[in-house]
Amino acid sequence: MKIVLLAFVLVLLSTAVFVRFVRPVEASGTIYIRADGSVEGTTDISTVDNVTYTFTDNIFNQSIVVERDNIVVDGAGYTLQGTGNGTGITLPGRSNMTIKNMNIRAFYFGIYLSGSSGNNVSGSNMTNNSYGIALSYFSSSNNSITRNNLGNNGKVGIYIFGSFNTLSGNNITNSSCGIEFYYSSNNMVNGNSITASHYWGVWLSDSLNNSISGNSITNSQYGIYLSYSSNNSVYHNNFIGNTYQVGGTIETSSSNVWDDGAGKGNYWSDYEERYPDAEEIDGSGIWNIPYVIDENNKDNYPIIPEFPTWTSILPMLIVLTIALAICKRRLFKNSIPTKVSG
């Protein structure tokens, strides 16, 4: 009986040890940048003026809540890393804040702006979250999201709900949706690279009067998808290699504008396949047949891609050849040993 009891105790102990090592790591706490300028919950964020708050090391398994306006949070290249849940940085009702130069990984929301306006998120990497950046609650407006890398965020790279903001120069890859707008108007989306979205490069749902221009939207299932969304301007974009360049049906997609109002629309990589008899209009770089999406939507001025011609390449080759010859001659001259007298 004692042997059986001892064996039972050993089994319990081994099970307890096993559970201890396989149990998911829970968040160890929350860091606060308080309204009075103080920092609670870490020694890895420093400030000397209560205006600029700088990471001094990587921060693991903690979230940050900002309660102070008019400040800069500088990651200084360090990483804020979670365990797949929670929010990396929360901005509740904040204004005139800058978040920059940091890596945010493995949270449900990398950065979450709730009722926050006039803020800037730039030069940061949000990867392996469910949502890279989310702006919500109908008043997170006039924020700038610029020059960030958002990769492998499972659900959405940048999510905008009921807000108007500027999104420019971001690189968004390998998410279910690159940029999603829901009940959002008057956003400016310019100069972003959105690639390899599993479903939608850009998805507009119940969203009006947004400007989407100069973006490269590639290798996604849908380049852009419009659902109950109208009066949006979509121009100067490159739609390349998407399974469907544009999604949405006549029932769910109202009329939108597909050019800049000055005679230039978008580049569509499947244009020549769809319109093999199209021709360029008088050297304008514009095809003569509109790119038809549905009966309410068409690009009247589809763009022909611009490739360098021999007349532009040849002068560059000549200049490069001359420069190389001069450089080679100088190197040869400098390599000749100087005669030493005496």
Domain chopping of the chain, boundaries: 19-311
CB of 254 closer than 8 Å to CB of 296: yes
Mean pLDDT computed over 37-63: 98
The region of weakest confidence among 14-23, 54-63, 189-198, 310-319 is 14-23
Instruction: State pLDDT tens for residues 69-106.
Output: 999 999 999 999 999 999 999 999 999 999 999 999 99
The region of weakest confidence among 223-227, 274-278, 292-296 is 292-296
- Residue for token pair 């956003």: 187
Q: CB-based burial of residue 46 (10 Å sphere; 0-12 exposed, 13-18 middle, 19+ buried)?
A: middle
Instruction: State pLDDT tens for residues 183-219.
Output: 999 999 999 999 999 999 999 999 999 999 999 999 9
pLDDT band at residue 321 under the 50/70/90 scheme:
confident
* DSSP at 148: -
Indicate yes or no: pTM above 0.85.
no
Strand partners, 233: 211, 257
Which pLDDT does position 22 carry in this prediction?
A: 29
Instruction: Quote the mean pLDDT of the chain.
Output: 87
CB of 232 closer than 8 Å to CB of 266: no
Name which of 214, 120, 210 is nearest 164 in CA terms.
Answer: 210
Strand partners, 166: 144, 188
Q: How far is CA 334 from CA 53, 114, 141, 320, 327, in A?
A: 52, 65, 62, 21, 11
